[in-house]
Chain A
Amino acid sequence: MDTKINLSEEDMPKRWYNVMADLPSPLDPPLHPATGKPVTPDDLKPIFPMGLIQQEMSPDRFIDIPAEVRDILLLWRPSPLYRAQRLEKALKTPAKIYYKWEGVSPPGSHKPNTAVPQVYYNMKEGIERIATETGAGQWGSALAFATMLFEMQATIYMVRSSYSQKPYRKSMMNVWGAECIPSPSTKTNSGRAILEKYPDTPGSLGIAISEAVEDAATHPDTNYSLGSVLNHVCLHQTVIGLECREQLASVDDYPDLVIGCVGGGSNFAGISFPFAGDKMTGKHPDVDLIAVEPASCPTLTKGMFTYDFGDVAGLTPLLKMFTLGHDFIPPAMHAGGLRYHGDSPIVSRLVNDKVMRAVAYHQNEVFEAAQTFARSEGIIVAPETSHAVKAVIDEALKCRKTGEGKTILFNCSGHGNFDMSAYDAYYSGQMVDFEYPDALIKESLARLPKLG
């Protein structure tokens, strides 16, 4: 058995898979924040290029990947699929564990899979600058990389707690020519409003999104770009799952479980949507799809499935999704990329429909899992990815108890080489296990006026 299962460059997917085509009923539409009516392509035009708006609303099962985009993706794709034989041995499990290693991209995560096509469609429509937000810095560095390739400018609002915690991510963005600003900033109205109210805020993705959207909406040469959540982002990431399916087929295997961490949902969408399609169309009805999230920001496990804003300021369309409330500022934990109050509307819908399920873990236990992974497979994963690793280990240990030789596939979405301060905090015993006191929060909201 080979350790790495590789595809040839020729075998890299030529089309993205759009899971919306296989949903039993259409997704609830995004609503205009002012009118409450479903948004039209024209509503989204001030901040997105038409090429992406069409993908966002497309009912087509497959969408071609433009040749220029494929050429760039080939810098690191197809990414290798590893059989984690050393981890299996360490866990003494009969389970077969495979991981898709997305850390081979230049920015070190799955994020450029969508950064490149997003920047491409903006470039095609004459946009000169992209504004975006970043949590842990993975998305920001991926977008900086992509804008550099297409000779465009990028302004990246980085969540303040990550900005000071991960200075090297900011350095990467600078190397690729992007401007990186800690959020909340004094550059935008929404940033100034938050700073006035909470001068010591660690920031959040929701705040940074407000800033980037405002920047794009107020500059005609600038568009906005989102690294997760939206349908077209999840679509671009499906290259991950499509490759996995081919790679596993080449060794006559198919997963019993597919696992990924979830912040906004795109890396999990990327690995799981092709398998969710197989499940919904009856080809593999039993495949178990597991979204893993932090206990401190448990959107899928403790949130409500309802319409909410994607950002703190309420500038984005209302999306039907699992949410903890758009004004919820998650505690400053180390997996910055998972600090988001909402979730991809498609992932939310699939969890709500029980096509997928979600689990939540605390910080210390996921770092313990990441350590086990590093000491068996060698890779030091990002704090976000360590959530997926924890779920994989738990499932593999269940197999040890039951004796089942299940096939477990997970998305090893990025390396943690810039996250050593988080590992240091874990080793110093100072890592805090934050929780979301959902029962008390529900009680505290009981007397608030109902909106909508």
Chain B
Amino acid sequence: MHTIGFLVNPIAGMGGAVGLKGTDGQVMEATRRGAVPKAGDRAREALVLLRVAPVHFLTCSGPMGENTLRESGITRYRVVYESPDVTSAKDTRNACRAFRDEGVELILFCGGDGTARDIYDVVTDTVPMLGIPAGVKMYSSVFAVNPEAAAGILLTYAESPVLHIRDAEVMDIDEDEYRRGNLRSSLAGYAKSPYLPGLVQGAKRVFEEQDDELAKEAIGRFMAEVMRGTPDTLYIIGPGSTTRAIADQLAVEKTVLGFDAFLDGKLVATDLNEKDMLALLAEGKRARLVISIIGAQGSVLGRGTQQVSPHVIRKIGIENIIVVATPHKLSETPVLFLDTGDRDLDGAFGSHLSVISGYHVAQRKRLGGPVTE
């Protein structure tokens, strides 16, 4: 029997239905505009499929979990957090502390980006998390494509002890700015999230998919060889576990969330901001930027990578930008996009991008416009 924490953010998604672009601090307004809570319904679509699964749920009272479990016909649960009538981010965090203290194997939640961020704040990468999408914005990568897919991942896990875990970005989005039409996102961190190879790929999966970790290792090996083959070239390497695999191959420690600089295989600066990058670039060496795809929507530059300003990109040169991503990540993001804030610069990348996806292998991906809704 597996022990899984389950919580619902009952207000998730309410703002979106009435044009509020997010629900943080807007529940009263959303309700006034006629929004009704719907996260519980979304969660139920997943839970009814888990009725007979060998899972014991730990949950929160009332609309934060218990109601949905009961309505789904699930009886194997225990309430470990008493939630108030009106819930907030604080309750999500408190519930996750209780889950963590009880030693859950995984947290299943229903909500949006804000909920993911609250959970991540508490458990970081120590407890895997999986989202049933119900929010207004889902830029983080911890969500299954729909409630059925979330149930599918859990059912497979329930039947076998092997859980495929990958690193998934948790994004931080400024909701006030978002309502004004500006998407300001930053990378909060990398959570652990379960996945089923192929589940997100649609009906036909012809080839066996490589394990995500093996793919990272292959990308790291190739890029480390490229770096060794290009001495006296400054490499600025962006955040993420795929790019970290390059540093692993060079036997160098790299920050997970920051941009670090390498020269001749050695780390020369960490956690660079825009000013630091420009100062390094002013030294006149040939420079390259190595980045991965950030978030679930296929952002390459702009979202979560504000340090790399249009000025920095122009200094480095588009031809010196190398994008890396695992085949699994690429299969989840059919279209990539750039949102540097400089339309001319975004346009200069053309209609397709070549993304290094393995050892001596790349994939050609279409570049589309940014997804703002």
Query: A425 within 8 Å of B by Cβ?
Result: yes
Query: For B211, what are the chain A residues with a Cβ–Cβ distance below 8 Å?
Result: 200
Query: For B365, what are the chain A residues with a Cβ–Cβ distance below 8 Å?
Result: 433
**A434–B206 CB distance below 8 A:** no
**B202–A437 CB distance below 8 A:** no
Query: B54 within 8 Å of A by Cβ?
Result: no
**B229–A435 CB distance below 8 A:** no
Query: B232 within 8 Å of A by Cβ?
Result: no
**B330–A425 CB distance below 8 A:** no
Query: B90 within 8 Å of A by Cβ?
Result: no
- Our pick among B208, B214, B361 for the contact of A434 (Cβ within 8 Å) is B361
Query: For A430, what are the chain B residues with a Cβ–Cβ distance below 8 Å?
Result: 201-202, 204-205, 331
**B230–A428 CB distance below 8 A:** no
- Our pick among B206, B230, B358 for the contact of A165 (Cβ within 8 Å) is B206
- Our pick among B201, B322, B330, B363 for the contact of A435 (Cβ within 8 Å) is B363
Q: Which of B220-228, B235-243, B275-283 contacts A (4 or more CB under 8 A)?
A: B220-228
Query: B354 within 8 Å of A by Cβ?
Result: yes
Query: B130 within 8 Å of A by Cβ?
Result: no
Check A432/B229 contact, CB under 8 A, given A200-B208, A437-B356. no
Query: B87 within 8 Å of A by Cβ?
Result: no
**A441–B360 CB distance below 8 A:** yes
Query: For B354, what are the chain A residues with a Cβ–Cβ distance below 8 Å?
Result: 435, 437
**B206–A421 CB distance below 8 A:** yes
Query: For B201, what are the chain A residues with a Cβ–Cβ distance below 8 Å?
Result: 430
Query: For B230, what are the chain A residues with a Cβ–Cβ distance below 8 Å?
Result: 443, 446
Give the dominant DSSP class at B's interface: mixed
* Complexed CA–CA distance, A441 and B223 (Å): 9
Nearest CB to that of B209 among chain A residues? A200
**B330–A432 CB distance below 8 A:** yes
**B364–A422 CB distance below 8 A:** no
* Complexed CA–CA distance, A295 and B364 (Å): 10
Query: For A13, what are the chain B residues with a Cβ–Cβ distance below 8 Å?
Result: none
Query: A424 within 8 Å of B by Cβ?
Result: yes
Query: B203 within 8 Å of A by Cβ?
Result: yes
* Distance in Å: Cβ of A207 to nearest Cβ of chain B: 15
Query: For A440, what are the chain B residues with a Cβ–Cβ distance below 8 Å?
Result: 222, 226, 322, 356
Nearest CB to that of B210 among chain A residues? A200
Bitwise, A311-334 to B at CB < 8 A (1) or not (0) is 000000000000000001001101
* Complexed CA–CA distance, A443 and B224 (Å): 11
Nearest CB to that of B330 among chain A residues? A432
- Our pick among A429, A441, A445 for the contact of B202 (Cβ within 8 Å) is A429
**A436–B360 CB distance below 8 A:** yes
Bitwise, A271-311 to B at CB < 8 A (1) or not (0) is 00000000000000000000000011000000000000000
Query: B181 within 8 Å of A by Cβ?
Result: no
Query: For A446, what are the chain B residues with a Cβ–Cβ distance below 8 Å?
Result: 229-230
Query: A141 within 8 Å of B by Cβ?
Result: no
Query: B334 within 8 Å of A by Cβ?
Result: yes
**B364–A328 CB distance below 8 A:** no
Nearest CB to that of A423 among chain B residues? B204
**A429–B334 CB distance below 8 A:** yes
Query: For A429, what are the chain B residues with a Cβ–Cβ distance below 8 Å?
Result: 202, 334
* Distance in Å: Cβ of B266 to nearest Cβ of chain A: 16
**B358–A435 CB distance below 8 A:** no
Query: For B222, what are the chain A residues with a Cβ–Cβ distance below 8 Å?
Result: 440, 444
* Complexed CA–CA distance, A331 and B210 (Å): 12
Bitwise, B13-41 to A at CB < 8 A (1) or not (0) is 00000000000000000000000000000
Nearest CB to that of B322 among chain A residues? A440
Query: For B327, what are the chain A residues with a Cβ–Cβ distance below 8 Å?
Result: 432
Q: Which of A296, A422, A425 has the most CB of B within 10 A?
A: A425
Nearest CB to that of A445 among chain B residues? B229
Query: For B205, what are the chain A residues with a Cβ–Cβ distance below 8 Å?
Result: 430
* Distance in Å: Cβ of A47 to nearest Cβ of chain B: 30
**B363–A161 CB distance below 8 A:** no
Query: A46 within 8 Å of B by Cβ?
Result: no
* Complexed CA–CA distance, A421 and B354 (Å): 25
List residues 408-452 of chain A with CB under 8 A from any CB of chain B: 421-422, 424-425, 428-430, 432-437, 440-441, 443-447
- Our pick among A161, A362, A441 for the contact of B207 (Cβ within 8 Å) is A161
* Complexed CA–CA distance, A437 and B218 (Å): 14
**A433–B331 CB distance below 8 A:** no
Check A202/B206 contact, CB under 8 A, given A434-B363, A436-B362. no
* Complexed CA–CA distance, A227 and B192 (Å): 47
* Distance in Å: Cβ of B199 to nearest Cβ of chain A: 12
* Complexed CA–CA distance, A436 and B214 (Å): 19
**A444–B204 CB distance below 8 A:** no
Check A437/B363 contact, CB under 8 A, given A430-B331, A443-B230. no
Query: For B331, what are the chain A residues with a Cβ–Cβ distance below 8 Å?
Result: 430, 432
* Complexed CA–CA distance, A311 and B226 (Å): 25
Query: For A200, what are the chain B residues with a Cβ–Cβ distance below 8 Å?
Result: 208, 210-211, 214
Nearest CB to that of A165 among chain B residues? B206
**B363–A425 CB distance below 8 A:** no
Check A444/B229 contact, CB under 8 A, given A331-B358, A433-B364, A435-B363. yes
Bitwise, B184-219 to A at CB < 8 A (1) or not (0) is 000000000000000001111111101100100000
Bitwise, A351-366 to B at CB < 8 A (1) or not (0) is 0000000000010000
* Complexed CA–CA distance, A177 and B89 (Å): 68
Nearest CB to that of B358 among chain A residues? A331
Nearest CB to that of B361 among chain A residues? A331
Q: Which of B203, B225, B228, B360 has the most CB of A within 10 A?
A: B360
Nearest CB to that of A442 among chain B residues? B229
- Our pick among B204, B206, B360 for the contact of A328 (Cβ within 8 Å) is B360
* Complexed CA–CA distance, A10 and B207 (Å): 46
Nearest CB to that of B224 among chain A residues? A444
**A428–B202 CB distance below 8 A:** yes
**A424–B362 CB distance below 8 A:** no
- Our pick among B202, B226, B363 for the contact of A433 (Cβ within 8 Å) is B363
**B203–A428 CB distance below 8 A:** yes
Nearest CB to that of A164 among chain B residues? B208
- Our pick among B206, B356, B362 for the contact of A425 (Cβ within 8 Å) is B206
* Distance in Å: Cβ of B314 to nearest Cβ of chain A: 21
- Our pick among B204, B210, B226, B330 for the contact of A443 (Cβ within 8 Å) is B226
A-B contact pairs, 5 of them (CB 8 A): A362-B364, A436-B360, A444-B226, A445-B229, A446-B230
Write the residues of chain B forming the contact surface with A, with a CB cutoff of 8 angstroms. 201-208, 210-211, 214, 222, 225-226, 228-230, 322, 327, 330-331, 334, 354, 356, 358, 360-365
**Closest A-B pairs by Cβ, 9 of them:** A444-B225, A446-B229, A433-B364, A435-B362, A443-B229, A437-B362, A444-B226, A332-B207, A424-B204
